[in-house]
């Protein structure tokens, strides 16, 4: 009869990785026990999440050609085909696992019956003892499987029932430990891969963060914020430009007005007879002062007389200045001072507006240049977020795998008694 598929898969896996069993606990040179009958109580302690064992698994494993058959050939020197006739296993009442008696095992072969928990075991078997996912990791308490192993040899077989029983248990222990070690090795390989992934993810994230700092240089490169700044700066730069244009109109008008007043004053002075006469007196007095200075040097006149001539020249100059002021006031000359003050104020404002325009335009140019960098920054930021998420996931994966390894428990096979 053909065994259920999931049991066959498990047996193939275990048999492929099983190690050679010890021929017997006793040295080869020791005398045989001369026993045709032997029995013992076998206890198997295991983690069901690492190595899911049950009655069917143990039964088929012990009667397989790679385990029971090999032990029979090595210890008893009989054909592996005879292994099913020389020993049997029976469940212990109240044990965690249910072992089928030998006769019942044979009756159920090939029927494909579904036992309790078969669906769960098939799910684990189908994964080929795969590594547990985070959803499967629950660190269940270890379970114990108890069964009675009895050996009965015929008279035509070497009288070494005890040696066969010990070798059978040793081979079972070695096989289960080997399965566990391979399972643990896969976890260790996964841990190494997780550590490499975490290191790679951290390096990738650091490189992207460094590039982001080089692009931003501590500046905010949010695209929406930059667009808002550009709009605001373009609005702000219009105000000083409008003020500058308005000031320039006023400056031009004020300058023209001052020029007109000065032209009228000059024309008025040129046509004023009194001014002309005073100007003649000033010129004549100036010549008299020069001549008097020569006479003083020659000793012809005294210095007192020279002072009188200079005084007349000064009075003439005062009179012409007074006359010019009168004429200037009559044609609006008194406004020139206030117009000059207004012109100076407007010039200062124009200079301030020009400085403000230059500053705002410089800020605008910088904002527009940042806008081009914002696209690269935004794309790289997205990649950095993904890199950060990858790092978090890889660290979680690494730590979870490391924790799984710490919780792994090797199966234990022990004989509680024998005869």
Structure confidence at residue 308 as a pLDDT band (50, 70, 90): confident
**pTM assigned to the model:** 0.49
For 5, the token pair is 């598929």
Residue 12 has pLDDT above 80, yes or no: no
- Whether 163 and 26 map to the same domain: the answer is yes
- Whether 152 and 232 map to the same domain: the answer is no
Task: Kindly state whether residue 305 falls inside one of the protein's structural domains.
Answer: yes
Range with the poorest average pLDDT among 18-32, 142-156, 181-195, 327-341: 18-32
Residue 166 has pLDDT above 90, yes or no: yes
Segment 335-354 shows an average pLDDT of: 80
**Alpha-helical runs (H) found in 272-335:** 273-298, 303-330
Task: Kindly state whether residue 107 falls inside one of the protein's structural domains.
Answer: yes
Range with the poorest average pLDDT among 30-44, 93-107, 165-179: 93-107
**Containing structural domain, residue 66:** 5-187+406-418
- Whether 374 and 229 map to the same domain: the answer is yes
- Whether 275 and 364 map to the same domain: the answer is yes
Residue 231 has pLDDT above 80, yes or no: yes
Cβ atoms of 411 and 46 within 8 Å: the answer is yes
- Whether 366 and 269 map to the same domain: the answer is yes
**Partners of 38 in the beta sheet?**
151
- Whether 67 and 121 map to the same domain: the answer is yes
Q: What is the number of structural domains in the chain?
A: 2
Segment 278-302 shows an average pLDDT of: 76
- Whether 65 and 127 map to the same domain: the answer is yes
Task: Kindly state whether residue 302 falls inside one of the protein's structural domains.
Answer: yes
Structure confidence at residue 368 as a pLDDT band (50, 70, 90): confident
Task: Kindly state whether residue 204 falls inside one of the protein's structural domains.
Answer: no
- DSSP string computed for 319-379: HHHHHHHHHHHHTTGGGHHHHHHHHHHHHHHHHHHHHHHHHHHHHHHHHHHHHHHHHHHHH
Q: Quick one: angle between helices 55-62 and 5-17, nearest 10?
A: 50
The reported pLDDT for the residue numbered 173 is: 93
Per-residue pLDDT tens digits for 122-156: 333 333 334 444 444 444 567 889 999 999 998 88
CATH number at residue 243: 1.10.287
Size (the chain), residues? 419
Segment 106-112 shows an average pLDDT of: 39
Task: Kindly state whether residue 151 falls inside one of the protein's structural domains.
Answer: yes
- Whether 241 and 362 map to the same domain: the answer is yes
The reported pLDDT for the residue numbered 244 is: 80
The reported pLDDT for the residue numbered 163 is: 93
The reported pLDDT for the residue numbered 38 is: 93
- Whether 169 and 43 map to the same domain: the answer is yes
Q: Which of 21, 404, 394, 294 is nearest to 175 (CA)?
A: 21
- Whether 182 and 252 map to the same domain: the answer is no
Range with the poorest average pLDDT among 191-205, 303-317, 328-342: 328-342
Task: Kindly state whether residue 208 falls inside one of the protein's structural domains.
Answer: no
Residue 25 has pLDDT above 50, yes or no: no
Work out the mean pLDDT of the chain and round it to a whole number: 76
- Whether 240 and 115 map to the same domain: the answer is no
């Amino acid at each position: 009869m053909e065994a259920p598929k999931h049991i066959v898969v498990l047996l193939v896996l275990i048999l492929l990785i099983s190690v050679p069993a010890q021929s017997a606990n006793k040295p080869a040179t020791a005398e045989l026990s001369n026993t045709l009958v032997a029995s013992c109580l076998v206890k198997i302690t295991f983690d069901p999440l690492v190595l899911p064992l049950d009655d069917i698994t143990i039964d088929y494993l012990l009667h397989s050609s790679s385990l029971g058959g090999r032990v029979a050939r090595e210890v008893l020197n009989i054909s592996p085909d005879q292994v099913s006739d020389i020993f049997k296993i029976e469940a212990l009442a109240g044990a965690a696992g249910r072992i089928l008696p030998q006769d019942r095992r044979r009756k159920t072969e090939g029927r494909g019956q579904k036992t309790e928990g078969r669906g769960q075991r098939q799910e684990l078997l189908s994964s080929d003892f795969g590594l547990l996912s985070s959803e499967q990791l629950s660190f269940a308490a270890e379970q114990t499987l108890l069964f009675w192993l009895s050996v009965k040899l015929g008279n035509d077989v070497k009288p070494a029932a005890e040696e066969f029983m010990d070798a059978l248990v040793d081979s079972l222990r070695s096989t289960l430990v080997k399965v566990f070690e391979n399972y643990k090795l896969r976890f260790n390989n996964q841990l190494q891969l997780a550590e490499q992934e975490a290191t790679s993810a951290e390096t990738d994230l650091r490189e992207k963060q460094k590039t982001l700092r080089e692009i931003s240089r501590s500046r905010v490169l949010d695209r929406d914020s930059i667009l808002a700044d550009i709009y605001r700066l373009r609005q702000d730069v219009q105000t000083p430009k409008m003020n500058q244009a308005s000031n320039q109109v006023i400056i031009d008008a004020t300058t023209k007005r001052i020029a007109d007043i000065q032209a009228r004053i000059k024309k008025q002075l040129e046509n004023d007879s009194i001014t002309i006469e005073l100007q003649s007196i000033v010129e004549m007095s100036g010549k008299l002062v020069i001549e008097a200075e020569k006479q003083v040097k020659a000793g012809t006149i005294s210095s007192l007389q020279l002072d009188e001539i200079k005084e007349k020249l000064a009075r003439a100059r005062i009179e012409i200045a007074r006359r010019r002021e009168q004429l200037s006031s009559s044609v609006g000359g008194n406004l020139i001072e206030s117009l000059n003050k207004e012109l100076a104020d407007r010039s200062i404002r124009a200079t301030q507006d020009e400085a403000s325009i230059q500053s705002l335009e410089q800020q605008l140019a910088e904002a527009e240049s940042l806008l081009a960098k914002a696209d690269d920054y935004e794309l790289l930021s997205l990649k950095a977020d993904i890199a950060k998420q990858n790092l978090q996931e890889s660290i979680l994966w690494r730590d979870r795998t490391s924790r799984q390894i710490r919780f792994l428990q090797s199966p234990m096979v022990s004989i509680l008694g024998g005869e």
